[in-house]
Amino acid sequence: MKAEDRILELLAEYLQKTDRILDRMEKSDRNFEAISRAILDHSAKFNEHNLKFNEHNVKFNEHSAKFNEHSAKFNEHSAKFNEHNVKFNEQNMKFNEHSVRFNKVHDQILRVEEKNQMLIEELISLSKRVSRIEDKN
The mean pLDDT of 16-37, rounded to a whole number, is 94
Closest CA to 135 of 127, 69, 16: 127
The mean pLDDT of 71-93, rounded to a whole number, is 97
- Stated as kind and residue range, the H or E segment containing 137 is none
CA distances from 127 to 23, 124, 135 (A): 147, 5, 12
Q: Where are the domains of the chain?
A: 1-102
Q: How confident is the model at residue 132 (pLDDT cuts 50, 70, 90)?
A: confident
Residue type, 88: F
Residue-wise over 81-106: b if at least 16 C-beta within 10 A, else e?
eeeeeeeeeeeeeeeeeeeeeeeeee
d(CA 91, CA 85): 10
d(CA 82, CA 75): 10
Chain segment 92-112, per-residue pLDDT in tens: 999 999 999 999 999 999 999
